[in-house]
Structure 1
Amino acid sequence: MINEKQIKDKLYEEFIRPTDKEKNFIGVEIEIPIVNLDKKAVDFNVVHEVTYKFKKEFGDFKNDGIDYDGNVYSIKNDKNDDIVCYDCSYNNIEFAMGREKDLFSINDRFNEYYTFTKECFEEHNHTLTGMGINPYRKYNNHIPIASERYLMLYHHLQSTEAYENIQFHDYPEYGMFSSASQVQLDVSKEKLVQTINVFSKIEPVKALLFSNSVLIDDNDKFICFRDVLWEYSTHGVNPHNIGMYDVELKDINDLQAYLESLNMYCVMRDGSYINFPSMNLLDYFRQETIIGEKYCNGKYKKVTIKPELDDINYLRPFKFINLTFRGTVEFRSVCTQPINESMSVAAFHLGLKDKLDELDEIITNDTSLYHKGYTAGELRKLLIQSEIPPVIDKNEVCRLSKSIVDLASEGLKERGLGEEIFLNPLYERIKKQTNPAREMIKLLNNKNNIEEIIENYGNI
């Protein structure tokens, strides 16, 4: 049987050791809803045609993923590591930009890819838009991409009956209509714990600045419904696997212990994913055998596996701040933004990355949001709601937000590349005391039609 020291050593090697190398790259991933303007389901034949045209236009992209039906769902440019793929279903396209030293290089390529792709979709009265939840989700066919990973993922999200006394929402298909804007930054091992601690504290401010997930027609209580979708799904069976860190880490040992507290729900054997009920990592390795399910010819069948140390490679938490196997820190709590403001997310995190002491001091001295008897996690839950509670003064919180964005701007200015320009949309939001979700709700309440909003949020 695998002992705990072996598990601890493997976790360290996979998640913490890679941060030893001195690097300073930026990675950006932007998921974007596909919308059929005929108010019908996204036509997957159109999606496949657009993929073909994209490959033809940008000749360096090669097939990187083909589903069981022979359709291409991922293409990659090996020269710069850019990937264009479909996330969970063919209702959601993702532009995963290869790592770069500056935001302008990423932005230029993203704009080129996005403009071409959007024009191709518009030839078929489809379009792309910058929202965290597909505004036409109710028209779509929520069918997972027929690949090992996405069939496994959907099967896991549907397996609510495996758990007792846990409250789940009614949207196991949420990965097919929700979209995020994610940033990966290189963080040294020495700064790892401080980065997680300090950035965790500003998640409430990020909710104020970036919320853009409105569940139109179904729920008007939240402006970042993505948080709810993750928390009340099977990913949230163990709260440590999603959302915020609810403890302040003291050192790498604390971080290591946190990793050990996470749950696993899948592994691979012979090229096939095996699902099993979510269980603690250490408990998994204490078992002689595990009974799971694997997809085979359209059905799921029971299989028995024996835990192997390399199964740690399939540990996949979905926290707001994640450690990756690449030695990066991934920030993943932000909704997809209006397209012409996409780089504001990366600029915000990049600008603050080397300003941790100053950022912590701002939070320590603040009384407009913090030090009111609420944890950062509780504040985040309050601030993703449509109505800001009376205990919070909007004017004071906007001043706090501005001081944090000012600090991000200072960090970017010190890089000397002019990247602080990407923060301009955040200053506008602070000035108007709004964010994309609140703006959308205001427009809808003023009888603007959703088609106009889809167009505006999709413009580059």
Structure 2
Amino acid sequence: MNENIVLETLYEKYISPTKKKRDKYIGIEIEIPIVNLDGEPVDFSVVHRLTDAFAFQFGMEPIGVDDDGYVYSLQNHHNGDNFSYDCSYNNLELSMGKEQNLNLLYERFKTYYLFINDFMNPYNYTLTGMGINPYRKTNFNVPIPNERYRMLFHHLESYKDYIHPHFFHSYPDYGMFSSASQVQIDVDHADLLDTINAFSKLEPIKALLFSNSVMPEDENKTLCVRDMFWEKSMHGVNPKNIGMFDRELTSEEDLFDYIKETSLYCIMREGKYINFTPIPLLEYFNRAQITGEFWNGETYEKITFQPQIEDLQYHRTFKFEDLTFRGTIEFRSCCCQPIADSMTVGAFHIGLIAMLDQLKALLDSDHVLYGHGLATTELRQAFCRGEVPAFINEDDLQSLVLSILDLAHEGLEKRGLKESHFLEPLYDRARRRSNPAIDYLNALANHVPVQELVLQYAAI
């Protein structure tokens, strides 16, 4: 295929949308574990009854139906809010349609959340604000039976076909029990590089503030195991598809070159997903044909196909700062937070976006984290493990975190929408030098029952 056509289409998908004049909006996506407090597996028939009740209560319409006829996604076509299940029926996702005021998003989220938990209470179920479902070993961790999630699980499970024992973890079903809190914010082309560079440098700080993905049986007591799930899976075969940008971007060409080096791992033909070993984009379109696998209704079948330029619509990366086809950056590195703190992720990013120049100056002049030999990725990995490198003065680190929160607070105040109160839990964490994962592990060490912690993290 002509490389120029590929490059022009790729540019139009990712770079051109940032050049369009538009108002800046916020989109919030919160994945939340469903927990059966009886300690038994989540009964999917209860989940399906919840979906029907939610659709009736809020007038939402089905936009996704699985192979068994059950609705897995509902949409409000007026405000863009979406009720869905992510990867499995153990993981509920509330996606709030774009707004400019975080308070409005929170009020809608709160209304939905209270209805859901009121519905589930008679079954002794609850949603809870944890990045890892505490009853994951009990649940039926099976994908939603549809093309997308069946393909995704098959792709992740295919790590077993590779001889790379020190790379892959053994949790291909991690999407069925891990939950994230994500925010999308419109970005102008002029701010694109500074936004990606500054927020990449912030990733270690975000690990300190937002870590909430604990597997208690993990002897290393990792505070944010979600990072490892992505990095050490089939998604991480090409490291440019996940995590942070591995270098500071200096120009639009630099960013575009980076995007060109990412990989494609699935496409569709005649309504069927086909997955294959991840292939870098330019190599993919340079091949005459590719061999992959698809589900034929009974088993996986080999298929050979020719690349088409339309396949770029299936290109998706999982960067912490992920440039989307909508002209937004999706910030993907935060765990689901305790429900009472659900808007902290959005508030943190929105406030700092409003103070981008000051944030860039603060991080460019920092000597607490940077300039000591460790890259940003290594710093975040250390903090996710609960480790503070020896060269870091913890008092100075606390001061840096508080300075960043002060910038976010100033940015929210500058917006004039009375949103800064959402940062209060983060100030508390910074002052205590803690986060939800540390609090959770400390409570377990003090013999607080898991069920009690589930209810604490569920409170709103």
**TM-score in terms of structure 2 length:** 0.98
Q: What pairs up with 1:438-457 in 2 under 5 angstroms?
A: 438-457=438-457
CA contact 1:214–1:220 (8 Å) conserved in 2: no
Task: Name the amino acid aligned to 1:52.
Answer: D
Task: Name the amino acid aligned to 2:262.
Answer: L
1:246 maps to what in 2?
246
2:289 maps to what in 1?
289
2:218 maps to what in 1?
218
1:98 maps to what in 2?
97
d(CA) in 2 for partners of 1:352, 1:427:
15
Q: CA deviation at 1:388?
A: 2.6
2:173 maps to what in 1?
173
Q: What pairs up with 1:104-253 in 2 under 5 angstroms?
A: 104-165=103-164, 167-253=167-253
d(CA) in 2 for partners of 1:161, 1:430:
41
d(CA) in 1 for partners of 2:411, 2:357:
12
d(CA) in 1 for partners of 2:219, 2:41:
21
Q: CA deviation at 1:218?
A: 3.3
Q: What pairs up with 1:1-400 in 2 under 5 angstroms?
A: 2-21=1-20, 22-59=22-59, 61-165=60-164, 167-400=167-400
CA contact 2:83–2:95 (8 Å) conserved in 1: yes
Deviation track 1:183-210 (CA, whole Å, cap 9, x = no partner) reads 0000011111111011100100000010
CA contact 2:354–2:412 (8 Å) conserved in 1: no
CA contact 1:162–1:277 (8 Å) conserved in 2: no
CA contact 1:8–1:256 (8 Å) conserved in 2: no
The 3 A distance-change label for structure 1 pair 264 and 219 is: farther
Give 3-state SS (helix, strand or coil) of 2:67's partner. Answer: coil
d(CA) in 2 for partners of 1:454, 1:165:
36
CA contact 1:213–1:335 (8 Å) conserved in 2: yes
d(CA) in 1 for partners of 2:364, 2:159:
40
Give 3-state SS (helix, strand or coil) of 1:302's partner. Answer: strand
d(CA) in 1 for partners of 2:457, 2:140:
23
Give 3-state SS (helix, strand or coil) of 1:32's partner. Answer: strand
Task: Name the amino acid aligned to 2:88.
Answer: S
Q: CA deviation at 1:219?
A: 4.2
Task: Name the amino acid aligned to 1:287.
Answer: R
Task: Name the amino acid aligned to 1:126.
Answer: Y
d(CA) in 2 for partners of 1:165, 1:109:
46
d(CA) in 2 for partners of 1:436, 1:352:
22
Deviation track 1:355-387 (CA, whole Å, cap 9, x = no partner) reads 222112212222222222111111111110133
CA contact 1:221–1:387 (8 Å) conserved in 2: no
Deviation track 1:169-192 (CA, whole Å, cap 9, x = no partner) reads 010000000000000000011111
Task: Name the amino acid aligned to 2:389.
Answer: P
CA contact 1:394–1:433 (8 Å) conserved in 2: no
CA contact 2:14–2:327 (8 Å) conserved in 1: yes
d(CA) in 2 for partners of 1:165, 1:108:
47
Give 3-state SS (helix, strand or coil) of 1:421's partner. Answer: helix
Task: Name the amino acid aligned to 1:369.
Answer: L
d(CA) in 1 for partners of 2:123, 2:218:
28
Task: Name the amino acid aligned to 1:237.
Answer: V
d(CA) in 1 for partners of 2:3, 2:160:
31
Deviation track 1:378-417 (CA, whole Å, cap 9, x = no partner) reads 1111110133333322221111000001001101101111
Give 3-state SS (helix, strand or coil) of 1:276's partner. Answer: strand
CA contact 2:180–2:334 (8 Å) conserved in 1: yes
d(CA) in 2 for partners of 1:208, 1:453:
20
CA contact 2:74–2:83 (8 Å) conserved in 1: yes
> Gapped runs of 5+ residues in structure 2?
none
d(CA) in 1 for partners of 2:67, 2:258:
37
d(CA) in 2 for partners of 1:292, 1:103:
43
d(CA) in 2 for partners of 1:201, 1:162:
35
d(CA) in 1 for partners of 2:271, 2:29:
26
d(CA) in 2 for partners of 1:251, 1:320:
19
The 3 A distance-change label for structure 1 pair 4 and 163 is: farther
Give 3-state SS (helix, strand or coil) of 2:40's partner. Answer: coil
Deviation track 1:55-75 (CA, whole Å, cap 9, x = no partner) reads 11112x000100000111000
CA contact 2:194–2:360 (8 Å) conserved in 1: no
d(CA) in 2 for partners of 1:71, 1:216:
33
Give 3-state SS (helix, strand or coil) of 2:264's partner. Answer: strand
Task: Name the amino acid aligned to 2:445.
Answer: N
Identity over aligned pairs, percent: 50
Q: CA RMSD in A?
A: 1.1
d(CA) in 2 for partners of 1:233, 1:269:
25
Deviation track 1:89-108 (CA, whole Å, cap 9, x = no partner) reads 00000000000011011000
Q: CA deviation at 1:340?
A: 0.6
CA contact 2:214–2:224 (8 Å) conserved in 1: yes
**TM-score in terms of structure 1 length:** 0.98
d(CA) in 1 for partners of 2:355, 2:403:
12
d(CA) in 2 for partners of 1:198, 1:386:
23
Task: Name the amino acid aligned to 2:93.
Answer: E
d(CA) in 2 for partners of 1:104, 1:151:
36
Task: Name the amino acid aligned to 1:241.
Answer: N
2:418 maps to what in 1?
418
Q: CA deviation at 1:308?
A: 0.3
